[in-house]
Amino acid sequence: MSLSSNRNRIALALFDEGASLCRALSELMITGVTVDQLGVAGPSSAIHKLAHQLDNLASNEIKILISEMQILRRDDGGEKLVVWRGPLWSTLHFFTDAASEPVAIAPWMDPRLRDELIAHINGGCILLGLRTSSIQQQKACTQLLLQHCRHRVRTYEFPH
């Protein structure tokens, strides 16, 4: 798959529970989305619960994605944030474990919206990020995500 060399096309969706996230991930992969296009982040308690639900709900690819999560250090005394180690979050400069910065930096995102996403994550939601290869894939994936999550799906397009 070839991603546009000068544009990032991103869809972000919040999920309240693991079953709907697993269904969305499964359907995304059926449409041709690869694991390298995906990112998952959430509070450690929600990711731990999701990991225990995977036996009946997820493909091996999804199980690997969830098993490769890592904890980011949190200085605010709150629950640990867990993110997938895949390339999406680092490519987008979304999360950092630097003590001198907020956990989500995403310089391309409006700070108010970024803070809103983090508030949802701190409230127990799991964030699914998806980097699409085309406008058509972004539209199709956004429609699919809207079928599975109860929150808004946000889309972004910006230069690298």
pLDDT tens for 39-97 read 999 998 888 888 777 766 667 777 777 777 887 755 455 678 888 888 899 888 998 87
pLDDT tens for 34-53 read 988 999 999 988 888 887 77
Give the separation between CA 70 and CA 18, rounded to whole angstroms.
17
Q: What pLDDT, on the 0 to 100 scale, is given for residue 154?
A: 94
Give the sign of the dihedral formed by CA 101, CA 104, CA 108, CA 111. Answer: negative
Q: What pLDDT, on the 0 to 100 scale, is given for residue 1?
A: 43
